[in-house]
Structure 1
Amino acid sequence: MLFPQFRFVVISLLGAVLSLLVVIPALRNRDKPGATGLLMVAPGASLFSLGLTLFATPLPDWAVYAANNVVVASGVLLGFGWLVTVGEHTETIVPDRRVFAAGGSYFTIVQTLALTDPLHHLFFSPIYLRQSEPLLVLPLPLNIVHILCMYGLILAACGLLFSDVLETTDARRTQSGLLLACIVPPLALNVLDLLGITSLNWTALGFVVMTLGIGWAVLRADFLDLVPVSRGRALRSMSDPVVAIDTEGRVIDANPAARDLSDVDSGYQNVTVGSFFQPFPDLVERLKTGTEGTIAVTHGGRKRDFSLIVSEINGRGDSPLARVIVFREVTQLKQRERELDLLSQVQSRVLRHNIRNELDVIKAQNEQLLVELEGRRAELAETTISSADRLLSISSKTRVAEQLIESDENPTMIDLAATVEQLLETHRETYPEVAFSDRLPNSCPVETLPSIRLALDNLVENAAEHNTAADPAVEVVLTETDDEVAVSITDNGPGIPEQELAVRDRGRETSLEHGIGVGLWVVDLVIERSGASLSFESDTGGTTATIRIPRQ
């Protein structure tokens, strides 16, 4: 008989020591949900195990009585702490002052009754220090009521965890499942003792298992590290209004942002959409039909634009149950679009009309001066004509870029070899001083956007126009594989400055007259839209620009 008793004492002491290990991760993550409760659970489990150890040793009545008081105190820490742990984890309880005031009040009352039991005999069973009759005759000792209360707290926590396992996914579900599994061993062993099924109270063994489980949850399931956020909390925190509507057009739920938009504080559930959004009749019609798109409403004296995103919720057999509508606010985006549209119109009108007309006048007058003047004055007139030509070219390319942005192209089959050949013929006439050469296959069909011609045209033009070599040359090479088609344009010019290449790689704009220019801006836009890629290799001996077009 001594060996089982000794084994019980060892296991109880082991439970008392190991339970305190839970304090380490709880302190390290004390600002995370669940840590506050564990800082009560750990000492509670340790004290409970220590109390069981004292019960197993031959002690006088007063010592047994003291041990029982320790167990009572630890029970409060365990029950209350576990509920706080689970409540924080499942986002159902916020451990604020009111929660701790309630727990502290309960702890004070219970401990007062336990410590003064020799005077009234209302708390413990009659076996402890019975020196007089109880003050009152109760159906159950208050200690049993206290134990049932603690069971209630722990079972309530188990209910929260079980519900969380059913409703959540991935890491959150794993964490909740592990926490639920952790509390089962000590709870089950304690119930077995309470019912008299076991000869000894092996709850401390359950605490050992609980400690190992919590350790596994911390180390393997990121408990106390990966902060749980429920869908409900995420929905409540969203700045965008969200409304759930059933098939009868009644509001099932609405987050605070939606209630603020409709100026409804409470009593909104089960009301019709028309009543909920009474100030916005156009919006009501859209919500009833579940039509997506943008809509403008006036709220709080200002216009707000929303993009409606509708998600259908179906039940068994794909039968419709409800729809969730998210009001994605795009007010600033719409305002920016209107500003950019106005800017585009002004810019287009100025570049296409005013500036071009004035440049045509400047060019025509200087062409006349070039005929009439000689020497230095004629050179100045010729320089002015060249500057006007460059500005006219920039204006034309800007218009091309604008049209490209506004267009909606679809990929089509293009003979890239024939396209390059046609471009070279055109540029040979424009730049007769440049030696153009090529290495092209007889044909090279590829599916891409028609605007790829613009990209090639601009690259060839840049290679020729900015080539300051004594004998300027431009070579175009087209190669193809099963996966892609590559077009390389190589010149023997001065090369592109590293600073300009760095600016292009960062994607930051430069001046239209300098840097990468409007032409290369058009090239980048075409490349991005077509799914191709563009790379540059440049040094003082020249530049090679390579476009790689993937085969579909």
Structure 2
Amino acid sequence: MTVGTTAAFLAWRERPEPGSVPLVAMLSGQCWWSAFLIFQLQATTLDSKLFWMNLSWVGVVVIPVAWFLFALEYTGHDQYVRLRYVALLSVVPVLTVVLAVTSESHDLLYVESTLVRRNGVATLSRTPGPWFWLITVYTYLLGLLGSIPLFGLIRSDSLPFRGQSAALLVGTLAPWASNALFVAGVVPITGLDPTPIAFAVSGVAYLGALTRFRLLGTNPSPNRRARRLVFQRMQEAAIVVDSHDYVVDVNESAVETLGVAPREILGRPAAQFFPEYDELPEDGAATGRVTLDGDSREALYDATVTRITDFRGRAIGRVITLHDVSEHIRQQQRLEVLNRVLRHNIRTETNLIAGYADLIEKEAGDPRATTVKRHAANIAEIGEKAREISDIFEQGREPTEATPLADLLSEHVADVREAYPEATVTCDPLPEDVYVATVLDAVFSNLLENAAEHNPSDHPHVGVTVEVTDEWVRVAVADDGPGIDEYERSVLERGTESPLVHGSGLGLWLVTWATGVAGGTVSFEANDPTGSVVSVRVPSLSPGEAGRTAAETRSS
């Protein structure tokens, strides 16, 4: 009883954690029953023993009800722990206490009560009546129903939850088993119910759950509601259908997307609300676009179908999620238009400006024509960089292509040596069996060209170093030029520009974005004594990884 009291005190301190109050009530019921068993054993007359036995029923009937309510709260089914349900569960226990107190005037709870003396010890022997068997079945039923959700936690991935549920089940099984033996007449001492004695095992088990496995400090009660909350509040519309294609559940987004109330769609064929339902795949990632009529316009959705199976692997339904891609499609259309402008119009216009500037320089000898041509070339270069960036983002939506690192670097090292013969370009030996994303071609091209082009020295030096591990490749390009301005680096680290805070060009943005598409990162450091070191760290691929998207490469 002392152990049970300690466990009840610890549980009381955890209020208002889910399950704390019912657990306190259950432990208090055990202590009550144990205390009145002691009083009954010490009594010497039939009337006194009946008095203490009848009062002990208060603790007896509290235990199963409190256990059931605790299991509901502990496992997240607290919507049933409401006053009206508690009152309903308490009807039979309250009547039992009333019948126990008034047992001398009827035979419902006990038919006969006698005093039995054996070896100088007086015990109370009672013949059960019909209500006794009713409350016994009711007690075992609540015990079983409360144990069912705990059995599901035995297989939980969480060690604390497994330990908690195991301790709770042990603590419950011990008194229930001893009581079953008493009811079956197996206990050798007539009239002695050993259930309160088994509460010592329960107290130790519950105390261990509270201290060793942090019962009430860490409990699974949020899990069930959290899963439902995630389903309801997810941005994508989700429709759950059974194996006969009838809608059995929808989330809030689906209700808004389809423009129907839950009561109008639940239990109805999905095809009535989903015009292209029959065209959806049976399972797997979704395949194309689905068009639905919205309030003011048609909206385009990506539809993903996920099969639901039972524990035998049999299909019992599907979940259809709809992701609104209307804005994405419009943005893609805008980019396609801008890409066409960058590919053709800007280049054509700058060529015309440069051509007219040549004519002016030849005919009028105006030196300002050279300035015009230089700025026209700058505009053309910006357009070319923007075009490359647009291509990079397009590659980010396509499956990743793996290319040997040696092929990418050696080609651009040779190009820079040819274009800038006054520069000294050194490169580490390149491994032949290392593969990286093909999108890095633009990264290495820009880094090497910029390192040689923007160096005012008569004999610039560019060094390329390569480090390879099992999973990553690091390529560093170092120069001895003026270095990258701290302001430029801060803009890149911020990840965005504004009218007042912006970089001087698109080259570093191209490097940063392309490396991100490849699933890597870029870092900038100062070189000693002058210059900068730009390091590109990306995943090491293999030829077999071709076909994965850039996002999948990053997540792996």
- Shorter-chain TM range is 0.7 to 0.9
Q: What percent identity do the matched residue pairs reach?
A: 24
Give the distance between the partners of 1:499 and 1:210, measured in 2 at CA: 68
1:86 alignment partner AA: A
Does the CA contact (< 8 Å) of 2:3 and 2:207 recur in 1?
no
- Distance, in Å, in 2 between the alignment partners of 1:242 and 1:231 is 19
1:523 aligns with 2:514: no
Return the match for 2:100 from 83, 99, 114.
Answer: 114
User: Aligned AA for 2:26?
Assistant: V
1:492 and 1:236 map into 2 onto residues whose CA distance is 57
Distance 1:489 1:151, change over 3 A: closer
Q: Which of the numbers 391, 394, 397 marks the counterpart of 1:403?
A: 391
Aligned match of 1:57: 42
Select the residue among 425, 428, 445 that pairs with 1:457: 445
- Conserved in 2, the CA contact under 8 Å of 1:32 and 1:227? no
Given that 1:241 and 1:327 are in contact with CA atoms closer than 8 Å, whether structure 2 keeps it comes out as yes
Distance, in Å, in 2 between the alignment partners of 1:487 and 1:167 is 46
Shift of 1:402: 1.3
Match of 1:216 in 2: 208
In structure 2, distance between residues paired with 1:390 and 1:266: 62
- Aligned ranges for residues 134-153 of structure 1 at < 5 Å? 140=129, 142-143=131-132, 145-153=134-142
**1:187 Cα deviation (Å)?**
1.2
Superposed displacement of residue 437, structure 1: 0.1
- For 1:255-404, list aligned pairs within 5 A: 255-257=249-251, 265=263, 275-286=269-280, 292-298=286-292, 301=295, 303=299, 305-311=301-307, 313=309, 321-322=314-315, 324-331=317-324, 334-360=325-351, 362-364=353-355, 378=367, 382-404=370-392
Q: Which residue of 1 aligns with 2:86?
A: 100
Corresponding residue of 2:550:
none
Would you say 1:542 and 2:531 are equivalent positions?
yes
* Equivalent residue, structure 1, for 2:53: 68
2:174 is the counterpart of 1:179: no
Q: Which has the higher contact order (CA 8 A, sep 6+)?
A: 2
CA distance in 1, matches of 2:133, 2:172: 21
> What's the secondary structure of 2:32's corresponding residue?
helix
Distance in 2 between residues matched to 1:266 and 1:350, nearest whole Å: 49
| Matches of 1:504 and 1:267, distance apart in 2 | 49
Deviation readout 1:411-438 (Å, 9 max, x if unpaired): 2344356414422134317xxxxx4102
Native 8 Å contact 2:249 2:266 kept in 1: no
Query: Mind listing any 5+ residue stretches in structure 2 that lack a counterpart?
Result: 116-126, 543-556
In structure 2, do the counterparts of structure 1 residues 548 and 79 end up closer, same or farther at CA, with 3 Å as the change threshold? closer
What's the CA shift string for 1:357-408, capped at 9, x where partnerless?
554555555556666789xx956x6555433322221111111121233245
The 2-side partners of 1:310 and 1:45 are apart by: 48
Change (3 A) 1:126 1:307: same
Residue type matched to 1:241 in 2?
A: A
Structure 2 Cα separation of the partners of residues 482 and 145 of structure 1: 71
Q: Can you list the C-alpha shifts for 1:134-156, whole angstroms capped at 9, x where unaligned?
A: xxxx9926455434432332233
| Alpha-carbon contact 1:34-1:85 (below 8 Å) kept | yes
Aligned to 1:19: 4
Q: Which residue of 2 aligns with 1:500?
A: 488
Q: CA deviation at 1:523?
A: 2.1
Does the residue aligned with 1:21 lie in a helix, a strand or coil?
A: helix
Q: Distance in 1 between matches of 2:238 and 2:478?
A: 55
- When normalised by structure 1's length, the TM-score is 0.76
Q: Please state if 1:427 is matched with 2:423.
A: no
Of the structure 1 ranges 521-530 and 65-74, higher mean CA displacement relative to structure 2 is found in 521-530
Structure 1's 357 and 336: CA in aligned 2 closer, same or farther, altered over 3 A? Answer: same
Deviation at 1:189, TM superposition (A): 1.8
Name the TM-score, length of structure 2 as normaliser. 0.75
1:155 matched to which residue of 2? 144
8 Å Cα contact 2:522-2:537 kept in structure 1: yes
Which letter maps to 2:534? A
Work out whether 1:439 is the aligned partner of 2:430. Answer: no
Q: Which aligned pairs between 1:470-481 and structure 2 lie closer than 5 A?
A: 471=458, 473-478=460-465
Structure 1 residue corresponding to 2:27, chosen from 22, 31, 42: 42
1: CA distance, partners of 2:90 / 2:271: 46
Distance in 2 between residues matched to 1:373 and 1:206, nearest whole Å: 112
